[in-house]
Amino acid sequence: MKNPDHITGPAGPILEYIGLERINGPLLVVQGVKGAGFDEQVEIVTPDDKIRLGRVLSISEDVAVIEVFEGTTGLNQLTARVRFLGHPFEIAVSREELLGRVFDGLGTPLDGGPTFSEGSPRDVNGLPINPVARAYPEEFIQTGISAIDGMNTLVRGQKLPIFSGSGLSHNDLAAQIVRQARLLADDEGFAVIFAAMGVRHDEAEGFRQSFEESGVLKNVAMFLNLADDPAVERLITPRIALTAAEYLAFEQGMHVLVILTDMTNYCEALREVATSKGEIPSRKGYPGYLYSDLASLYERAGRLQNRPGSVTQIPILTMPDDDITHPIPDLTGYITEGQIVLDRTLARKAIYPPINVLPSLSRLMSDGIGPGRTREDHQNIANQLYAAYAKARQIERLASIIGEEDISATDKLYLSFAKAFEQQFLKQNDDENRTINETLDLAWQLVALLPEHELTRLKPKEIKTYGTKKGSASEDAID
Amino acid sequence: MNNSPTATQLAPTESLPVVTMISGPVLKICPASALSMNELVEVGKERLLGEVISLDHDVATVQVFENTSGIRPGTKVQGLGLPLYVELGPGLIGTIFDGVQRPLQYLQHQWGDFIQRGKIGHPLDRERVWTFSPLLSAGDQVTAGSILGEVAESSIVTHRVLIPPGKEGKLELIVPAGKYTLDDVIANVKTPDGTIHGLKLFHRWPVRKTRPYAKRLIPAEPLITGQRVIDTFFPLVKGGTAAIPGGFGTGKTITQHQLTKWTDADIIVYIGCGERGNEMTGVLVDLPQLLDPRSQHPLIERTILIANTSDMPVAAREASIYTGITIAEYYRDMGYDVALMADSTSRWAEALREISGRLEEMPAEEGFPAYLASRLAAFYERAGQVETLSNKKGSVTLIGAVSPPGGDFSEPVTMHTKRFVQCFWALDKEMASARYFPAINYLQSYSGYSRKVEPWWSEQVASGWLELTEKAMQILQEDAKLQNTVKLLGEEALPDDQKRIIEGAKLLKNDFLQQSAFDAVDTYASPQKQFLLLDIILYFFDRLAEIVAVRIPLFRALELPVVVEIHRLKFTQKGDESAPFLAIRQQIDQEIETLLQQHHENSF
Ligand SMILES: Nc1ncnc2c1ncn2[C@@H]1O[C@H](COP(=O)(O)OP(=O)(O)OP(=O)(O)O)[C@@H](O)[C@H]1O
Ligand SMILES: [Mg+2]
């Protein structure tokens, strides 16, 4: 068993070993491997001649540790054959073979179509973008959703995650963004890459239907690792998806929107492998390199100066226990360019989308808005909404202690502002596509509920120009 | 046995070190007897750069500054015989390097938009021609740090060419004024042992070794940042240390960008250590367009950038901090005031943790190695104001961002950093959520330099500066206490004299402390403007006392037209003239007098 068989693959000789030293969770240990490299792709051949994929996690002169994406269930220590392919995990992609297609989490077609054959193979790990080559993202994407466009603006090439909780409407929100995003306006030049990691069948199907109904399906590639698919496979799915996205954006010049869901499942798979390896964990059992690992995915968004396309990422994650300080949302927030935070209290008030704007943020907003992009008053009116809503929430707390009757007249105005803000600005239908002008006008109607001397974030000139529709907000019908 | 090698033929190849194990960025190498600690090595045909980080019997552990994918056991390793170093010379300014000083502009030019491994280039451009003017002549005695001559490195920076430590002796030759490249020998020095050393416009220095200086000074000159909350309440000094801890999105990076743009340092070294690529791009786009308020030249002309973003190799991230500080010390040695930003030191600490984990070292708190505290201490210790070897004054100011998990300051990196820095600018999640920026929590933050900089402010700006700031801080602190009551009973429940504190604090918070990085005027406030603005707010606050004393309802004073004028001052005035502030003062007097007058009349 110690001697490798040499077979010849398309790229030259392939090393094959028979028999395993040890199987430990998702990991295999093979002894006496010669000539294989770190991070190399591996095929494991089961007795019934099925092939599972894996990669080398560490290797020394005598042992190679391999993670098996499809799990180790059913593998036999004596009969399993392990082939080292001599290259990292690669996919060969081409535009024709990608778009309008459905694949599993490792890139194998699920739609009966052809496997990838054209195009040159690409390492799914990608390469870091030279910061000098990046173009600063600053093109406004209108999503038609007021809480996003008005207060947490998305721009082309941004990575803006949705922090959600289990059972909240993150899927509906993501699907609505895909349908409405103006990025998708010019027909040929856009693509959607959808990568599912451990999501339920019905959720994935919901997305597919939504893409179909809005007529974008032919521009979508779906990579599906579903809830009952092997967990470790989730580690490779987003890498395949992003490799495809980079190809479409930077070689084909397309504007690509990537949805990664659910990153929490991805992180749990990473933890599982780390634990099996016996690594020293940092917080909550997650490996110390979780930050770097997530960054190796999230940083694969952006624009380049010398190439026309863009990769915009909307990762979705569910916060365990709705806890934003949990390592998964925490480290994500440290890497991404802001976050859209969904809130259970708002959801209970039947507000869709239940976006809590206070902890939400788009860091690229200030560059994507303003005269020539959206409107000159955008930044200040957004700041004013934030400040007023933050204050109103404080007053709500006070009112719940001393009673609503005993607060000052101004404070009462803040309470009606907050109510109108939630019911009219945040709340909208899932097919309601507001223009940026509609969103900003609505904002002005809302701040008109407050006395002018409270509007410290607005310039007098702006109030003169835009703040004319005093009091009309409360009369607006809510639907 | 013709075709099998003999023992003697085998020997030399056998003694060459080879890779025996690969785990992420960490390799084990054997035999290692010829390697020394911290020696640079090249791995394999691609010549991937690495550094020896431990030696145990015949096995060396190496951290590799590039992706190790595909490296196999048995790959040959070559020791380079020198430790990790940087090149120091003209051409640093305006350049962006990675963590081990690879020039990123050059890499893009040569190999495209993505960073490929094994692709290196000289850190400093060998072809560029510099105009050198000698300041010494043949026959002169030179010591380490002597200034050989000057090169105009940028429109802002005059590069002083220094005799490197270890090259002291007699100047045998020095070239005349003229144009030279970095490869040209510009001087020969004969050291006491009789060796002649050819000196060039640049030299090399190991990054993990502090550069020598004559003596340490006690810093007392403020480093003006143009950010009111910092300069007024938590000032920094040239040669000081500061930490900016805060959860994600609280404003660490923007604060450091603001400092990069507006501090009155001569040189800025900005290290993006394990952070976002776009943020570095942002700096690269902004700095050539913004003008230095002092020299009126583009700010990039005084800035050196180091970018080892979060997706770049983690070992090079660990090194980036040292690369940056060594460059900072080098300009200090020319007699400059250098400010170094490190965003984020937590990512550097995590790089340490990752490598330490791969070495299977015993972890201390939260998986960090036990030497975390001593490494942090050693880093901040490299800050300071010094008398250089050539008897000039120079300084390195260190400003480190800290990214505590969950925004919780009781974690190891924040806790240890706190022990080694004098300024602590604590960022506050709540303030950031309310879009109150800079979100520096004035109750949790502190500076050990407030009293030290007082004489400077009194002499350069206005006497009574310290009293003014102390008075403002007192209002803010009383307000914080009153807020507890307000939370329970509402503002209405307070008597007017206490309401006055709350309103005064509101003015301070909204019209003084809050400062927008994105507003063309507000982004920078000169010391003069800071004084005038604070003075006018406190003057109004004082006059409010008269209103309260005669029981005029406070809100009537707050509805005076002048209040709106006060709100606008920070956006409209640059502070180079005091007339507009005087006019507001008169308006305050007038309107308050009228109010008092009316009250007086009504009560009779
Ligand atoms: N001085 C300021 N003026 C205006 N806006 C600010 C200021 N400081 C921060 N902000 C806002 O806060 C956002 C987040 O700031 P920043 O990127 O500096 O956070 P950070 O603390 O560096 O976060 P991370 O740890 O995730 O890198 C900015 O995009 C900007 O919108
Ligand atoms: Mg930051």
DSSP for B54-119, please give it.
EEETTEEEEEESS--TT--TT-BEEEEEEESEEEESTT-TT-EE-TT--BHHHHHHHH-SB--TT-
Contact B315, B348 (CB under 8 A): no
B107 vs A130, A364, A386: nearest CB? A130
Identify the DSSP state of B369.
B
How far does residue B254's CA lie from ligand 1's centre (Å)?
A: 5
Per the structure, the count of domains in chain A is 3
User: What's the A386 CA to ligand 1 centre distance in angstroms?
Assistant: 15
Is A32:A43 a contact under the CB 8 Å cutoff?
Answer: no
Token pair for residue B233? 């309440």
pLDDT value at position A1?
37
Alpha carbon A403 to chain centroid, angstroms: 42
Query: What is the C-alpha separation between B199 and A441, in angstroms, rounded?
Result: 67
Strand pairing report for A310-318 and A255-261: parallel
Q: Could you tell me which chain B residue has the CA closest to the CA of A401?
A: B488
> Is residue A419 a part of any domain in this protein?
yes
CB contact under 8 A, B104 and A306: no
pLDDT for B516-549, tens place per residue?
A: 998 889 999 999 999 999 999 999 999 999 999 9
SS3 assignment, position A55? strand
pLDDT tens digit sequence for A3-62: 444 454 444 557 888 888 889 888 999 998 888 999 999 999 988 888 999 999 999 988
Residue type, A386: Y
On whether the CB atoms of residues B386 and B214 are closer than 8 A, the answer is: yes
Cβ-defined contact of A133 to B113 (cutoff 8 Å):
yes
Question: A348 and A384: one domain?
Answer: no
Q: Is the distance from the beta carbon of residue B254 to the nearest atom of ligand 1 less than 6 Å?
A: yes
A83 with A96, same domain? no
Q: Which of B105, B490, B510 is opposite residue A408, by nearest beta carbon?
A: B490
Q: What are phi and psi for residue A401, nearest 5 degrees?
A: -90, -50
Mean pLDDT along residues A229-252 = 94
**Is residue A373 in some structural domain?**
no
How far apart, in Å, are the Cα atoms of A95 and each of A99, A120, A220, A286? 6, 12, 11, 36
Q: What is the mean pLDDT of residues A83-110?
A: 91
Hey, are the CB atoms on B22 and A307 less than 8 Å from each other?
no
Q: What percent of chain A is predicted at pLDDT more than 90?
A: 63
Q: Quick one: fold of B1-83? A: Elongation Factor Tu (Ef-tu); domain 3 (2.40.30)
Region B189-198: mean pLDDT is 93
Identify whether residues A272 and A341 lie together within a single domain.
yes
Residues A57 and A198 in one domain: no
Residues 6+ apart with CB under 8 A from B7: none
Domain C-terminal end among A368, A403, A428:
A368
To the nearest whole angstrom, how far is the Cα of B565 from the nearest Cα of chain A? Answer: 11
CATH at residue A432: 1.10.1140
Mean pLDDT of chain B: 92
Distance CA A150, CA B422 (A): 40
Q: Is residue A44 part of a domain?
A: yes
pLDDT of residue A278: 86
Query: Is A285 in CB contact (< 8 Å) with chain B?
Result: no
Strand order in the sheet with B187-190: B141-142, B169-174, B187-190, B196-199
In the chain, the amino acid numbered B88 is L
For the CA atoms of B224, B225, B230, B233, what is the dihedral angle to 10 degrees?
Answer: 20
Long-range Cβ contact pairs of B441-447 (< 8 A, separation 24 or more): B442/B229, B442/B233, B442/B234, B442/B473, B442/B476, B442/B513, B443/B476, B443/B477, B443/B480, B445/B233, B445/B234, B446/B234, B447/B233, B447/B234, B447/B235, B447/B236, B447/B242, B447/B422, B447/B423
| Neighbouring C-alpha atoms within 13 Å toward the C-beta of A122 | 22
| Three-state secondary structure call for residue B506 | helix
CA distance B162 to B464: 43
Contact B241, B339 (CB under 8 A): no
**Residues B28 and B59: beta-carbon distance below 8 Å:** yes
Contacts of A63 in chain B (CB under 8 A): none
> What is the Cα–Cα distance from A212 to B24, expressed in whole angstroms?
42
Mark whether A444 and A340 lie in a shared domain.
Answer: no
Query: pLDDT digit string (tens) for A279-331?
Result: 888 888 999 899 999 999 999 999 999 999 999 999 999 999 999 999 999 99
* pLDDT (tens digit per residue) in A339-390: 999 999 999 999 999 999 999 999 999 889 998 889 999 999 999 999 999 9
Question: Contact A35/B74, CB-based, under 8 Å?
Answer: yes
What does the angle CA B128 – CA B133 – CA B139 come to, to the nearest 5 degrees? 125
Question: Is residue A429 helix, strand or coil?
Answer: coil
Confidence band of B8 (pLDDT split at 50, 70, 90)? very low
In this structure, what are the phi and psi dihedrals at residue A91, rounded to the nearest 5 degrees? -130, 145
Task: Name the more confident of A117 and B563.
Answer: B563
How far apart are the C-alpha atoms of A341 and A325, rounded to whole Å? 13
- The response to whether residue B252 sits with its C-beta less than 6 Å from ligand 1 reads yes
B22, B248, B357 member nearest A334 (Cβ): B248
| Ligand 1 and B246: CB distance under 6 A | yes
Is the pLDDT reported for residue B157 higher than 90? yes
pLDDT at A380 (0 to 100): 92
Tell me, yes or no, if B518 comes closer than 8 A to chain A by beta carbon: yes
Give the pLDDT of residue A479.
35
Expressed in angstroms and rounded, the spacing between residue B243 Cα and the centre of ligand 2 is 13
In chain A, the N- to C-terminal Cα span, in Å, equals 72
Maximum alpha-carbon separation in chain A:
86
Q: What is the pLDDT of residue B9?
A: 42
State the DSSP H helix or E strand holding residue B324, giving kind and residue range, or none if neither. helix B314-333
Query: In this structure, what token pair is assigned to residue B125?
Result: 């451009």
Q: Do B354 and A289 touch (CB under 8 A)?
A: yes
Instruction: Specify whether A181 is located in the same domain as A169.
Output: yes
Q: Whose CA is nearest to atom 14 of ligand 1?
A: B249
B268 Cα–ligand 2 center, Å = 18
Look at residues B154, B422, B179 and name the one whose alpha carbon lies nearest to residue B299: B154
Same domain, A359 and A403: no
Residues of B in contact with A462 (CB under 8 A): none
Res. B576 pLDDT band, cuts 50 70 90? confident
Cα B498 to middle of ligand 2, angstroms: 38
Per-residue pLDDT at B367: 87
Predicted local distance difference test score (pLDDT) of residue B5: 37
B226: Cβ below 6 Å to ligand 1?
no
**What's the pLDDT at A61?**
87
CA of B344 to the centre of ligand 2 (A): 7
Mean pLDDT throughout B384-403?
96
- DSSP 8-state code for residue A300: S
Residue A9 lies inside a defined structural domain of this protein: yes
User: From CA A365, how far away is CA A379, in angstroms rounded?
Assistant: 8
**Which tokens sit at A384?**
């004013």
Question: What does the pLDDT read at residue B14?
Answer: 52
Q: Would you say B50 and B63 are in contact if contact means Cβ atoms under 8 Å apart?
A: yes
Query: Are A261 and A388 in a shared domain?
Result: no
Q: How far is it, in rounded angstroms, from Cα A193 to Cα A252?
A: 14
pLDDT band at A251 (very low <50, low <70, confident <90, very high): very high
Q: How far is A151 from chain B (nearest CA, A)?
A: 11
The answer to whether the B130-201 and B465-602 domains have the same CATH topology is no
3-state helix, strand, coil in chain B (%, to 5): 40, 25, 40
Distance CA A347, CA A342 (A): 8
Q: Which of A87, A120, A135 is the last residue of a domain?
A: A87
Task: Give SS3 for B602.
Answer: helix
The answer to whether the CB atoms of A40 and B274 lie below 8 A apart is no
- B19 pLDDT band, cuts 50/70/90, is very high
Are A117 and A214 within one domain? yes
B253 lines ligand 1 (CB under 6 A): yes
Claim to verify: residue A320 and residue A400 sit in the same structural domain: no
* Ligand 1 pocket check for B482: Cβ under 6 Å: no
Cα distances (angstroms) measured from residue B170 to each of A75, A164, B166, B199: 75, 70, 12, 12
**If you measure CA to CA, which chain B residue comes closest to A129?**
B114
Supply the mean pLDDT for chain A.
89
A18 touches chain B (CB under 8 A): no
Q: Where are the domains of chain B?
A: 1-83, 130-201, 215-450, 465-602
- The CATH code of the domain that includes A35 is 2.40.30.20
Give residue A408's domain range. 378-477
SS3 (DSSP) at B7? helix
Q: Are residues A289 and A189 in the same domain?
A: yes
Q: How many CA within 13 A on the CB side of residue B267?
A: 30
Residue B18 belongs to what H/E stretch? Answer: strand B18-23
pLDDT of residue B365: 87
Residue A227 lies in a domain: yes
- In this prediction, residue B118 has a pLDDT band, given cuts at 50, 70 and 90, of confident
Helices of type H across B382-428: 412-420
Architecture of domain B465-602: Orthogonal Bundle (1.10)
Residue range B130-201 in CATH 2.40.50.100: yes
Q: Specify the pLDDT at position A182.
A: 57
Ligand 1 pocket mutation pick from B230, B250, B524 by most atoms within 8 angstroms of CB: B250
Q: Which residue has the higher pLDDT, A64 or A11?
A: A64
Least confident span in A147-161, B226-240, B553-567: B553-567
Contacts 24+ apart (CB under 8 A), A404-413: A406/B490, A406/B492, A407/B490, A407/B492, A408/B490, A408/B491, A408/B492, A410/A450, A410/A451, A410/A454, A411/B490, A413/A449, A413/A450, A413/A451
Q: What is the mean pLDDT of residues A238-265?
A: 95
Min Cα separation B273/chain A (Å): 12
Tokens of residue B439, six digits? 């979100």
Interface of B with A in 381-410 (CB under 8 A): 403, 405-408
Distance CA B322, CA B38 (A): 13
Residues A216 and A351 in one domain: yes
DSSP character for B6?
-
Tens-digit pLDDT profile for residues B201-210: 999 999 999 9
Q: What's the CATH class of domain B215-450? A: alpha beta
- Residue A212: helix, strand or coil by DSSP? helix
Query: What part of A 223-262 touches B (C-beta under 8 Å)?
Result: 250
Closest-CA residue of chain B to A408: B492
Q: Is the minimum distance from the CB of B241 to ligand 1 under 6 angstroms? A: no
**Does residue B345 have its Cβ closer than 6 Å to ligand 1?**
no
Band of residue B1 on the pLDDT scale cut at 50, 70, 90: very low
Nearest listed ligand to the Cα of residue B246: 1
Instruction: Quickly list H helices, A254-408.
Output: 263-276, 290-298, 327-335, 344-348, 365-368, 378-402
B212: which DSSP letter? P
> Percent of chain B scored above 90 by pLDDT?
82
Token code pair at residue B562: 């002048």
Q: In one letter, which amino acid is B134?
A: P
**Closest C-alpha among A355, A432, A424 to residue A170:** A355
* Out of A38, A131, A364, closest to residue B22 by CB: A38
* Closest alpha carbon within chain B to A382: B435
Structure tokens at B53: 């980080």
| Mean per-residue pLDDT, B550-559 | 89
CA distance B406 to chain A (A): 4
